[in-house]
């Protein structure tokens, strides 16, 4: 009798749906977005939309070479080799065979994805209290892999994105009756070069910043000097830095203190930050950079090709920087064009800022081009 009652109640639960199909996403009876939202609210936001874990793997595969994804992902740096720890035979590459153990490598054990100065201070205090190894990651572009370290705690500044524009910037501690520094922009450490360019152009201004858009302009870039195509025109990014806010490093007796560094206070620190290299003196939370008027530019491109291994190749190196051009050279003195022919190639892209007169700029190239055209087997265009 007892068993029958149980079976009876099971049947009564099942009866309303017998003979009916469940709603599926492609059917009109499928719950609306608002319905799902209501369920999510009713269970305190615990509803998640998931994909099979294998799909996550294919997402990662697609993003693997994307520098912006690598910048935002605390467990990745831009140069994969710095994620491995060869001394311990630890790697975890997407190309590894599936039965290979995924080792932690040099990837920090605990990243603190900070969003505010106080979170940085808390983390520095924790590091000091617990005697931990600390690294700072902004975009992970560092050629020496310093944003990651084995068994470390990482402060990831990538999510700090505050930007403030000034028509007339007055450094903290400057005399009240001072003239100020003119137009400038203050950016949090995590603002990328792409975000910085977009912000200044909204005010019809330009700024000295680098070529790779995913670099963090307020992190290692300006602290390492910061070169750009406009260097000949307005100097390095560090020459244009007017002030930094810095949480002092855990080795300092003032560890965790927030200080302002500019030409009026903490001047030694300010000097050291402008070229001393990222991660050396503290955690920069923001930097203020001078901005410049938007100016016309002339973009030039010179390609020189000659026989592979020609010893005269290096003599062709143009000295156009003196004429105000800044940019990039690519030189391949003995490049295999195909299986039988090697060539020496030099390609340059130089940008002349605040210039419109192309005839004037051609006059710098013409002597070089006519000299090159007299050399048998050399083409220059
Ligand atoms: C593809 C590519 C293109 C590049 N182009 C240019 C260019 O045009 N011009 C140029 O000058 N350089 C260029 N660089 C070099 C680049 O600017 C440096 O590697 C720079 O250090 C990156 O800084 P980051 O903060 O973005 O990167 P990260 O690798 O995250 O940090 C670099 C160093 O700074 C430290 N650091 C990061 N954030 C902070 C912070 N908030 N406070 C204190 N220390 C911090 C890190 O610990 C690390 O030691 C390029 C690099 C690459 C890979």
User: Which of the listed residues 250, 268, 293 is the one where a domain comes to its end?
Assistant: 293
Examine the pLDDT at 5 and tell me if it is beyond 50: no
What are the backbone angles phi and psi of residue 80, rounded to the nearest 5°?
Answer: -55, -30
Residues 137 and 211 in one domain: no
| Mean pLDDT value of segment 229-257 | 91
- pTM (2 d.p.): 0.81
Cβ(281) – ligand 1 distance below 6 Å: no
Give DSSP secondary structure letters for 161-200: --EEEESS---TT--TTS----SEEEEETT-BHHHHHHHH
Query: Which of 152, 219, 228, 238 has most ligand 1 atoms within 8 Å of its beta carbon, as the pocket-test mutant?
Result: 219
Closest ligand 1 atom, residue 211 Cα: 8
**pLDDT confidence of 15, banded at 50, 70, 90?**
very low
| Mean pLDDT value of segment 210-217 | 94
| Mean pLDDT value of segment 239-257 | 89
In this predicted structure, what is the pLDDT of residue 4? 39
Examine the pLDDT at 299 and tell me if it is beyond 50: yes
Is position 21 within any domain? Answer: no
Distance 72 CA to ligand 1 centre (A): 14
Is position 30 within any domain? Answer: no
Cβ(185) – ligand 1 distance below 6 Å: no
| Mean pLDDT value of segment 245-261 | 88
Task: Report d(CA 83, CA 150) in Å as an integer.
Answer: 9
Residues 200 and 145 in one domain: no
In this predicted structure, what is the pLDDT of residue 39? 78
Is position 27 within any domain? Answer: no
Residues 340 and 327 in one domain: yes
* CATH code of the domain containing 98: 3.30.43
Cβ(140) – ligand 1 distance below 6 Å: yes
Examine the pLDDT at 2 and tell me if it is beyond 60: no
User: Which of the listed residues 293, 320, 355 is the one where a domain comes to its end?
Assistant: 293
Residues 255 and 359 in one domain: no
Task: Report d(CA 291, CA 300) in Å as an integer.
Answer: 24
User: Which of the listed residues 107, 139, 156 is the one where a domain comes to its end?
Assistant: 156
Cβ(145) – ligand 1 distance below 6 Å: no
Distance 66 CA to ligand 1 centre (A): 16
Domain count, the chain: 3
Cβ(327) – ligand 1 distance below 6 Å: no
Residues 99 and 77 in one domain: yes
In this predicted structure, what is the pLDDT of residue 252? 74
Task: Report d(CA 254, CA 155) in Å as an integer.
Answer: 18
Q: 154-201, pLDDT tens digit by residue?
A: 999 999 999 999 999 999 999 988 888 999 999 999 999 999 999 999
* CATH code of the domain containing 334: 3.30.70
Cβ(141) – ligand 1 distance below 6 Å: yes
Closest ligand 1 atom, residue 137 Cα: 30
| Mean pLDDT value of segment 285-297 | 97
* CATH code of the domain containing 176: 3.30.465.10
Residues 177 and 139 in one domain: no
Distance 70 CA to ligand 1 centre (A): 13
Range of the domain at 260: 163-293
Q: 168-177, pLDDT tens digit by residue?
A: 999 999 998 8
Q: 53-111, pLDDT tens digit by residue?
A: 556 677 788 888 899 999 998 888 999 899 999 998 888 888 777 777 888 899 999 89
Residues 259 and 182 in one domain: yes
Is position 220 within any domain? Answer: yes
Give DSSP secondary structure letters for 2-36: HHHHHHHHHHHHHGGGTT-PPP-TTSTTSPPHHHH
Query: Which of 142, 234, 280, 282 has most ligand 1 atoms within 8 Å of its beta carbon, as the pocket-test mutant?
Result: 142
In this predicted structure, what is the pLDDT of residue 370? 78
Closest ligand 1 atom, residue 278 Cα: 34
Distance 147 CA to ligand 1 centre (A): 9
Per-chain mean pLDDT for the chain: 85
Bridge partners of 153? 110, 134
Would you say 172 and 193 are in contact if contact means Cβ atoms under 8 Å apart?
no
Residues 109 and 172 in one domain: no
Distance 256 CA to ligand 1 centre (A): 22
Q: 137-148, pLDDT tens digit by residue?
A: 999 999 999 999
Examine the pLDDT at 3 and tell me if it is beyond 90: no
Residues 111 and 205 in one domain: no
Ligand 1, atom 19: closest residue by C-alpha: 142
| Three-state SS at 301 | strand
Q: What value does the CA radius of gyration of the chain take, rounded to a whole number of Å?
A: 29
Q: 325-374, pLDDT tens digit by residue?
A: 888 888 888 888 889 988 888 888 989 999 999 998 888 888 777 777 77
Distance 297 CA to ligand 1 centre (A): 26
In this predicted structure, what is the pLDDT of residue 20? 62
Above pLDDT 70, what percent of the chain?
88
The CB-side HSE value for 11 (13 A sphere, CA atoms) comes to 6
Is position 134 within any domain? Answer: yes
Residues 224 and 170 in one domain: yes
Residues 111 and 230 in one domain: no
């Amino acid at each position: 009798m007892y068993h029958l009652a149980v079976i009876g109640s099971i049947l009564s639960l099942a009866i309303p749906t017998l003979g009916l199909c469940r709603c599926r996403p492609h059917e009109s009876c499928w719950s609306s977005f608002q319905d799902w939202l209501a369920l999510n609210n009713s269970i305190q936001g615990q509803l998640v939309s998931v994909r099979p874990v294998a799909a996550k793997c294919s997402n990662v595969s697609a993003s693997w070479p994307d520098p912006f994804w690598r910048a935002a992902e605390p467990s990745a740096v831009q140069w994969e080799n710095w994620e491995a720890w060869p001394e311990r035979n630890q790697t975890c590459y997407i190309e590894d065979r599936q039965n290979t153990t995924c080792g932690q490598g040099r990837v920090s054990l605990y990243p603190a994805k900070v969003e505010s100065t106080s979170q940085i201070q808390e983390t520095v205090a924790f590091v000091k209290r617990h005697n931990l190894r600390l690294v700072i990651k902004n975009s992970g572009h560092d050629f020496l892999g310093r944003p990651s370290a084995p068994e470390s705690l990482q402060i990831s500044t990538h999510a700090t994105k505050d930007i403030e524009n000034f028509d007339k910037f007055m450094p903290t501690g400057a005399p009240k009756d001072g003239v100020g520094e003119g137009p400038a922009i203050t950016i949090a450490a995590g603002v990328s070069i792409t975000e910085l360019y977009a912000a200044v152009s909204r005010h019809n201004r330009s700024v000295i910043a680098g070529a790779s858009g995913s670099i963090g302009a307020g992190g290692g870039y300006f602290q390492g000097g910061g070169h750009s195509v406009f260097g000949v025109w307005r100097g390095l990014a560090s020459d244009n830095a007017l002030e930094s806010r810095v949480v002092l490093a855990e080795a300092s007796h003032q560890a965790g203190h927030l200080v302002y560094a500019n030409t009026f206070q903490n001047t030694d620190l300010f000097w050291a930050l402008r070229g001393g290299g990222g991660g050396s003196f503290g955690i920069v939370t923001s930097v203020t950079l001078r901005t410049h008027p938007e100016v016309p530019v002339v973009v030039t491109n010179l390609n020189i090709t000659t026989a592979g291994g020609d010893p005269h190749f290096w003599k062709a190196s143009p000295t156009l920087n003196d004429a105000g051009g800044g940019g990039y050279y690519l030189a391949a003195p003995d490049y295999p064009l195909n299986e039988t022919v090697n060539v020496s190639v030099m390609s340059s892209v130089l940008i002349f800022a605040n210039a419109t007169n192309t005839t004037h700029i051609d006059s710098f190239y013409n002597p070089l081009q006519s000299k090159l055209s007299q050399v048998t087997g050399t083409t220059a265009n």
